[in-house]
Amino acid sequence: MNKKPLILVTNDDGITSGGIKTLINIAKEFGEVVVVAPDSPQSAKGHAITIYDPLRLKEVDIYDGIKAYACSGTPVDCVKLAKHHVLKGRKVDLCVSGINHGSNASINIIYSGTMSAAMEASLEGIDAIGFSLLDYSSKADFSQGAPFIRQIISDHLNGGKGTGTLINVNIPKLTTQEIKGIKVCRQAKGQWQENYQLAKDPSGREYFWLAGDFINEDNEQDTDLWALENGYISVVPSTYDLTKYDEIDWFKSLEKIKV
């Protein structure tokens, strides 16, 4: 790549989060970085976009020498505004999203704003990587996985397909030395075992608050959850094509319906 690459950075934890700061610092080693990220936490917003309300975009001077914009919308809104307004007409070489506070392995990719932002870039034909660290703590140390993140970004910029590939990278809560390496795997089958905390507000009206624990239901060794539990960074190539191809034949009987 001769020209300095253009890298779009976004996330779902918000533009002032520790994870995005680490990611910006890595990305700027490789090219021109532009940040468009939510002005407030947008975790678990999935692929939501804002259609009933106007969006606001504010240029912020918080990362030295980096163009950065805080957006009032969801992570996917950020990517759309980056493409259609902030970077209008420019070719983006890579979109990186994160580093998320907490796991986006297994089915968490579906709920994740971090991964949905990356998927939106992928839909637009931009290679995209979502990074997440398995540490929900506000004091999470994002630097430990940084050497791996640096290499993954370097690999993409030098040899990426450039066709809108999407990978979901999750990093275990270990030191750089403890991380055993990278495993490329499939999304594990897992599920949230949830309940709602039921309480009453000061006016006596009931409200519900979601709580739960994630359960791994997949015993195979080729999954992201296995990799993470065994000290590896997991990389899952991912897609926005939700067709379940192996069920098309099974459902063909519906074509016989006559009314």
**Interaction residues for a second copy, span 13-42 (CB under 8 A):** 41
Helix 18-27 to helix 146-159 angle (10° resolution) is: 50
Closest CA to 236 of 106, 103, 124: 106
Shortest Å, Cβ 70 to a second copy = 13
3-class DSSP assignment, residue 116: helix
3-class DSSP assignment, residue 69: strand
- Euclidean distance between CA atoms 126 and 166, whole angstroms: 9
Q: Out of 137, 158, 175, 239, point to the residue binding a second copy (CB under 8 A).
A: 239
Residue 201 sits in the site that holds a second copy (CB under 8 A)? yes
- Binding pattern for the stretch 77-116 against a second copy, x by CB under 8 A and - elsewhere: x--xx--xx---------------------x-xxx----x
Question: 65 or 156: whose CB is closer to a second copy?
Answer: 156
Residue type, 23: L
Question: 15 or 152: whose CB is closer to a second copy?
Answer: 152
* Burial label, 114 (beta-carbon count in 10 A; 0-12, 13-18, 19+): buried
Q: Out of 61, 138, 139, 254, point to the residue binding a second copy (CB under 8 A).
A: 254
Q: Out of 14, 25, 32, 48, point to the residue binding a second copy (CB under 8 A).
A: 48
Instruction: Tell me the CA end-to-end span of the chain in Å, nearest whole number.
Output: 59
3-class DSSP assignment, residue 139: coil
- Euclidean distance between CA atoms 103 and 172, whole angstroms: 9
- Binding pattern for the stretch 119-138 against a second copy, x by CB under 8 A and - elsewhere: x---xx--------------
Q: Out of 25, 50, 143, 216, point to the residue binding a second copy (CB under 8 A).
A: 50
Question: 62 or 210: whose CB is closer to a second copy?
Answer: 210
